[in-house]
């Protein structure tokens, strides 16, 4: 279970909402993941709240760490091997190209009866007050607690209830009942709920955001909505989407996945969820080049992290209007007849405090040499000077 009241007061949700209203289901197509999309590793910090006497929840021992691990593994299994959507526009992308990281050192144990008691989960407003106060007590002012991940509170007192702070936010989410389920050897129900709540953190709304009879708009045209989606619990005619109420919570549509990657690339200025991604994009990886295929015209309106080189094949054009992060030592390779166009909002940068190498021209002496159109000020952290073409 989860709650949707009171969430629109948050700025980044507002941005998401504005996009939905005014952009008519903004097109995030360029972020639909493919097998070439670098996997985004998302850091999770779990706060296990025991009672004051240290009982009532997972313990900091090997046996219980194994049980917690099973929840994370189950979520990773789901996102790496998604199920075909039962409803909506049925189009299967198997691998979401996201994974969740939660090693032993990312799990915190607190003895605090107040934090343990999530009977309040049935009252979403009160549960928010509690969650905010736990944030102040255990996260905000404690420098030893990392801030670069999604903070998850595990309390008890209700079964399968949760709420996320906001759409596109890493601040906190709570989940009640994970331990109760683990005692019954059930790790998949907590995993399904946790994945749903993380879905909100990653930018997703419920596919039927306004319950019947009001058809909702979650900003995606390919998700199952009412009346097709009756939100029944289990079976082929029921939704199996992660962002609905159902037994499986094992499907995500291309639009939902593109939205997730749009958020994780830091495109929503009011949101911080992109800061939960492990910065493995700071390290150059030659197996993860970003390619614009021969003869293609590709447009990028948003931000993008590139993990390897940016390669424009022969006679291809890449029009950029967002910021591109180039990793340390990487190059932009321009083949003959290719063109990289830096539009008004385009920037080529390195956000990791390193330098990237510059442009390499293939077929340099031919008259059909690749070119870059833009201005010097749009490029930073580059070792070599870039030669621009005036157009
Ligand atoms: Zn929800």
Domain locations in the chain? 2-261, 284-378
Question: In the structure, what pLDDT confidence band is assigned to residue 18 with cuts at 50, 70 and 90?
Answer: very low
Q: How far is the CA of 146 from the centre of ligand 1 (A)?
A: 25
Give the tens place of pLDDT for each residue, 199-236: 999 999 998 765 555 556 788 989 988 778 887 889 88
Q: How far is the CA of 363 from the centre of ligand 1 (A)?
A: 53
Average pLDDT over residues 7-34: 58
Q: How far is the CA of 87 from the centre of ligand 1 (A)?
A: 18
> Is there a contact between 177 and 136 (Cβ–Cβ < 8 Å)?
no
> Is there a contact between 294 and 313 (Cβ–Cβ < 8 Å)?
yes
The span from the CA of 94 to the CA of 234, in Å, is 21
Round the CA-based radius of gyration of the chain to a whole number and report it: 23
Q: How far is the CA of 300 from the centre of ligand 1 (A)?
A: 30
Q: How far is the CA of 283 from the centre of ligand 1 (A)?
A: 35
Q: How far is the CA of 333 from the centre of ligand 1 (A)?
A: 44
The span from the CA of 152 to the CA of 119, in Å, is 17
> Is there a contact between 260 and 243 (Cβ–Cβ < 8 Å)?
no
The pLDDT, as a whole number, for residue 36 is 83
> Is there a contact between 391 and 339 (Cβ–Cβ < 8 Å)?
no
Query: What is the residue-averaged pLDDT of the chain?
Result: 90
Q: What is the pTM of this model?
A: 0.88
Q: How far is the CA of 249 from the centre of ligand 1 (A)?
A: 11
Q: How far is the CA of 109 from the centre of ligand 1 (A)?
A: 26
Q: How many Cβ atoms from other residues are within 10 Å of residue 275's Cβ?
A: 15
Which of residues 7 and 114 earns the better pLDDT score? 114
Question: In the structure, what pLDDT confidence band is assigned to residue 114 with cuts at 50, 70 and 90?
Answer: very high
Given a cut of 80, whether residue 348 has pLDDT beyond it is: yes
Q: How far is the CA of 207 from the centre of ligand 1 (A)?
A: 10
Percent of the chain whose predicted confidence (pLDDT) is above 70: 91
Q: How far is the CA of 199 from the centre of ligand 1 (A)?
A: 8
Which ranges of the chain would DSSP assign to H, the alpha helix? 11-22, 62-80, 113-116, 124-135, 178-183, 188-201, 254-264
Q: How far is the CA of 313 from the centre of ligand 1 (A)?
A: 43
Q: How far is the CA of 162 from the centre of ligand 1 (A)?
A: 8
Q: How far is the CA of 30 from the centre of ligand 1 (A)?
A: 26
Q: Which CATH architecture has domain 2-261?
A: 3-Layer(aba) Sandwich (3.40)
Average pLDDT over residues 245-270: 94
Q: How many residues does the chain have?
A: 391
């Amino acid at each position: 279970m989860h709650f949707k009241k009171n969430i629109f007061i948050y700025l980044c949700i507002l941005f998401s909402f504005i996009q939905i209203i005014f952009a008519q289901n903004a097109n995030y197509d360029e972020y639909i993941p493919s097998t070439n999309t670098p996997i985004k590793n998302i850091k999770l910090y779990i706060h296990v709240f025991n009672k004051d006497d240290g009982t009532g929840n997972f313990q900091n021992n090997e046996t219980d760490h194994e049980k917690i691990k099973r929840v994370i593994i189950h979520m990773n299994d789901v996102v790496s091997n998604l199920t075909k959507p039962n409803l909506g526009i049925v189009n299967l992308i198997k691998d979401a190209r996201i994974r969740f990281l939660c090693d032993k050192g990312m799990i915190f144990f607190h003895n605090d009866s107040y934090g343990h008691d999530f009977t309040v989960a049935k009252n979403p407003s009160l549960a928010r007050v509690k969650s905010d106060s736990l944030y102040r007590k255990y996260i905000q002012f404690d420098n030893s607690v990392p801030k670069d991940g999604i903070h998850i509170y595990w309390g008890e007192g209700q079964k399968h209830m949760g709420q996320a702070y906001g759409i596109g936010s890493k601040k906190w989410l709570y989940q009640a009942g994970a331990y109760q389920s683990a005692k019954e050897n059930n790790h998949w129900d907590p995993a399904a709920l946790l994945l749903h709540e993380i879905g909100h953190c990653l930018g997703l709304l419920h596919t039927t955001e306004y319950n019947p009879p009001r058809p909702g708009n979650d900003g995606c045209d390919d998700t199952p909505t009412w009346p097709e989606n009756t939100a029944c619990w289990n079976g082929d005619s029921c939704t199996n989407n992660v962002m609905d109420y159902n037994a499986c919570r094992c499907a995500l549509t291309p639009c939902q996945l593109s939205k997730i990657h749009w958020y994780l690339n830091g495109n929503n200025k009011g949101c911080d969820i992109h800061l939960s991604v492990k910065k493995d994009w700071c390290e150059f990886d030659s197996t993860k080049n970003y390619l614009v295929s021969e003869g293609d015209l590709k447009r990028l309106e948003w931000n993008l992290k590139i993990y390897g080189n940016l390669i424009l094949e022969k006679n291809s054009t890449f029009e950029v209007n967002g910021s591109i992060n180039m990793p340390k030592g990487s190059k932009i390779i321009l083949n003959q007849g290719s063109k990289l166009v830096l539009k008004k909002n385009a920037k080529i940068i390195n956000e990791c405090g390193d330098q990237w190498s510059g442009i390499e021209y293939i077929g340099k002496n031919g008259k059909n040499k690749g070119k870059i159109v833009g201005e010097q000020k749009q490029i930073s952290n580059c070792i070599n000077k870039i030669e621009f073409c005036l157009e």
